[in-house]
Homo-oligomer: A and B are copies of this chain.
Amino acid sequence: MNKGALAKEEIVSVAADVIRSKGYQSTSINDILVSSGIGKGKFFHHFKTKHDLGIAVVDRYIDTWKTRMIEEILQGDFPAKTRILHMLEETLGSFQNSNVKKGCPFGNLAIEMSEHDASFRERIASFFHEWAMALSETLKDANLIPEDRAYDYAEHIISSIEGAILIAKVKQTSKPIENTVSILKNTLLHQRSISHE
């Protein structure tokens, strides 16, 4: 029945993994065919171009992380401070073991594709923006940051995390992520309000 649809989802899922490891441009369609055990015809039946697949993969990343990070955690039912802690812990948990080497799906594509292709760039920029908005709201809820600084501070937290994942990737250890998460926790939670200092 919806076998076709399922098949397409499976290709995206396999491709998401491969692309996260190898990058979009270095991933050949053949890589995906081999990884998923399908033929060329099937692939191009579902995706008009490789670019189409790339976009489907990005959209899938965004769906997943928006649900997990933004909706379930940042906009969840816990007290604001707790939600922020959960976000940091979730980050930490997501980049252990083999995932350290793979890096952040968004950060990877942000760097690889921003100059090549606007449709990748815009999607990723918009995801980071939505994340920063949600975090900004939570920071305000927690009374940790004055309203007019909240977005900037949220963006800084997110970029710190991305940077930590980048350094972790090149060092092949999750230490930089733990480090940054710990510093962010301290800075955020052991002070009444950051800008008062």
Contact = CB atoms under 8 A, between A and B. Distances in A.
A164 B167 CA distance: 13
A101 interface: yes
Contacts of A103: 111, 114-115
Interface in A177-194: 179-180, 183, 186-187, 190-191, 194
A97 interface: no
Nearest to A171: B125
Contacts of A2: none
Contact of A166 (B23, B25, B166, B186): B166
B169 A110 contact: yes
Interface of A: 21-23, 25-26, 101-103, 107-108, 110-112, 114-116, 121, 124-125, 128-129, 152-153, 155-156, 158-164, 166-167, 169-172, 176, 179-180, 183, 186-187, 190-191, 194-195, 197
Given A121-B172, A159-B160, A160-B160, 15 more contacts: A23-B112, A25-B25, A108-B111, A110-B167, A111-B111, A111-B166, A153-B183, A155-B167, A155-B176, A156-B179, A159-B180, A162-B162, A166-B166, A187-B187, A187-B197
